[in-house]
Amino acid sequence: MSEVKILVACAAEPTLSTVLEKVCQVSEKSGPFDCIVILGPALNDVKDEIPVKMPVPTFFTNGSKLVSDEAGSISIDENSTLLNGIGIYQLSNGLKIGYLTGDENYLRQNEDEILSLFSKQENDGVDLLLTYQWSEAIAHGSTSSAGICLVDKVVKLLMPRYHFACSEKNKFTELNPFQWNETSSITRFLNIAEYGSGAKWAYAFSLSLGLNNDGLKIDNLSPNPYLQSNGKKHRLEEESTRLPSNIKKFRQILPEKCRFCFSNPDVEDHLIISISEHAYITAAKGPLTMPHGQMDFSGHCLIIPIEHRTKLVADTNDITKTPTYTDMESYESKLVKMNFEKFQMSTIIFSINSENSVHFHKQVMPIPNYLIGKFVPALDRQVHFNNERNPTNAKLNFKEFQGKKDLNYLEFINDPQNNYLQFTIFENSSQPPKVYVASFDVSKRIDLQFGRRVVAFMLHLPKRVKWDSPVCKQSKEEEQNEVTLFQKSFKDYEFEKLV
């Protein structure tokens, strides 16, 4: 982990020479800086000479208009680079800069290309995001700046550690940092005023590369404005509902409206991998895991009972004797065997068994065998975030059982009053799994993404926590290809009789 020193300033073309002289003086006294960033409409033409020879790598943005028809990074001289339009620039020391500049018309016309470019940064994000405009979420609390929606989308994709804008040229703004639930990463927003405005026109800071803020205690955190704006737009997600039990709406969803029921005319049957008498397997919508090694598909799938069940409970005194449970367990065993024998992958299975769910199911995720030892620390970390940082969430306390034949475990799952989250961890296909179960108060909110958060942390894939995140979305053609590859590998196990 290395620390870099950065200086960010804002200049217009008439003041550029003065600004560069001043930042060089600052660099001599307070530096040396590892890089300097000049925001604002400082350059009129890419062929213009930089009036001052810069001692360190210096990056210029183009304000609200393109300096060149060519978008991307353009070298001007030995230490000067223009970041024109949109792109990602990574320095040799690892510092990663994302930039999004140009007028609203340019951004609107190129929105698909912009989102496609930045969605490729799903695993790493950026250290700095440079934009001309503010986002709508940030501008919502401002009386002057309007903000544009595309900036919101880019910020959500990249979760930058620092976001700098400069459209409010007469005002310096520094907001309190805010946190992203998915990763615990921190973002800071600043608007740098233009030199000569009378407001603060330069900002110096240090940044530790590779540090993602985990474990840091920051006292002045503000609510995340990007999460607040979505607070009333919850959709049915991959796992279950998270409404309190006194709200009956989701508990009354009929099979013909359920996304997992065959009686729904809109069911996405192109995702189906295998069907048995009482259960079926479908490829996960917006998979968390990604192709790895010899596994050329994500491997993330769902095991779903065919019968519309909000909760898996026993029709008799023993749930393990029910046909639905038996079919689901058979599929589970075959998937575990395929993952390990063909791909040397361990398997994590997560489920939420709650009377407030829409349709019970299990998520099955292959994990590189060498990473499975990270499960318990990842689980403990997420439990801490859930219990300590989210006071409205149901408190979770996981108990470990040695396999599914543990008598205490069987007693627990056969109690129809229990609502619980469960992880089943298969290190390989020959040993019994370890089972981790946490019961919860059904009247409390539960985090639908809890299971994905744990696995995403293990795999270093923070941007893939939510199934409907832009980085997880697949076209129908990509989904169909995923199913074809999955079926090709699973066919050797699908009809195997397991003892």
Q: Does residue 285 share a domain with residue 160? A: no
CA angle 24, 30, 32 (to 5 degrees): 65
Instruction: Supply the DSSP string of 193-253, one letter for each residue.
Output: PPTTSSS--EEEEEEETT---TT---TT-B--HHHHTTTT-----SS-----TT--TGGG-
Q: Does residue 338 share a domain with residue 291? A: yes
Q: Does residue 420 share a domain with residue 370? A: yes
Is residue 245 one of the residues assigned to a domain?
no
Is residue 234 one of the residues assigned to a domain?
no
Q: Bin 304: left if φ > 0, else alpha if -120 < ψ < 50, else beta.
A: beta
In the chain, how many domains are there?
2
Please say whether the beta carbons of 484 and 302 come within 8 A. no
Q: Does residue 144 share a domain with residue 89? A: yes
Print burial letters for 418-436: b (CB count within 10 Å at least 16), e (below 16). Answer: bbbbbbbbbbbbeeebbbb
Q: What is the value of pTM for the model shown?
A: 0.55
Answer with the one of 194, 228, 262 that is the final residue of a domain: 228
What tokens were used for 193? 């005023």
How would you class 91 by CB atoms within 10 Å of its CB: exposed for 0-12, middle for 13-18, buried for 19 or more? Answer: middle
Is residue 236 one of the residues assigned to a domain?
no
Report residue 241's pLDDT band, with 50, 70 and 90 as the boundaries: very low
Please say whether the beta carbons of 77 and 55 come within 8 A. no
Structural domain harbouring 262:
250-494
Q: Does residue 278 share a domain with residue 355? A: yes
The average pLDDT across 361-384 equals 95
Is residue 499 one of the residues assigned to a domain?
no
Please say whether the beta carbons of 284 and 238 come within 8 A. yes
Instruction: Supply the DSSP string of 17-38, one letter for each residue.
Output: HHHHHHHHHHHHHH---SEEEE
What per-residue confidence (pLDDT) applies to 461? 92
The average pLDDT across 220-246 equals 50
Answer with the one of 228, 258, 274 that is the final residue of a domain: 228
Largest separation between any pair of C-alpha atoms in the chain: 83
pLDDT greater than 90 at residue 452: yes
Q: What is the CATH number of the domain that holds 82?
A: 3.60.21.10
Q: Does residue 288 share a domain with residue 141? A: no
Q: What is the CATH number of the domain that holds 285?
A: 3.30.428.10
Cα 441 from Cα 394, distance rounded (Å)? 6
Is residue 244 one of the residues assigned to a domain?
no
Is residue 210 one of the residues assigned to a domain?
yes
Query: Which among 217, 195, 171, 190 is positioned nearest to 6, based on CA atoms?
Result: 190
Please say whether the beta carbons of 299 and 339 come within 8 A. yes
Q: Does residue 426 share a domain with residue 283? A: yes
Q: Does residue 340 share a domain with residue 224? A: no
Residue 101 to residues 55, 113, 136, 387, Cα–Cα distance (Å):
25, 14, 15, 40
Q: Does residue 276 share a domain with residue 221? A: no
Is residue 238 one of the residues assigned to a domain?
no
pLDDT tens digits, residue range 5-55? 999 999 998 999 999 999 998 888 777 889 999 999 988 887 778 888 898
Q: Which range among 156-160, 263-267, 418-422 shows the weakest confidence by mean pLDDT?
A: 263-267
Is residue 233 one of the residues assigned to a domain?
no
Query: Which among 468, 443, 129 is positioned nearest to 287, based on CA atoms?
Result: 468
The average pLDDT across 428-453 equals 92
pLDDT greater than 50 at residue 443: yes
What tokens were used for 371? 């990473």
What tokens were used for 174? 């520094």
What tokens were used for 257? 């409206």
Query: Which among 392, 406, 389 is positioned nearest to 441, based on CA atoms?
Result: 392
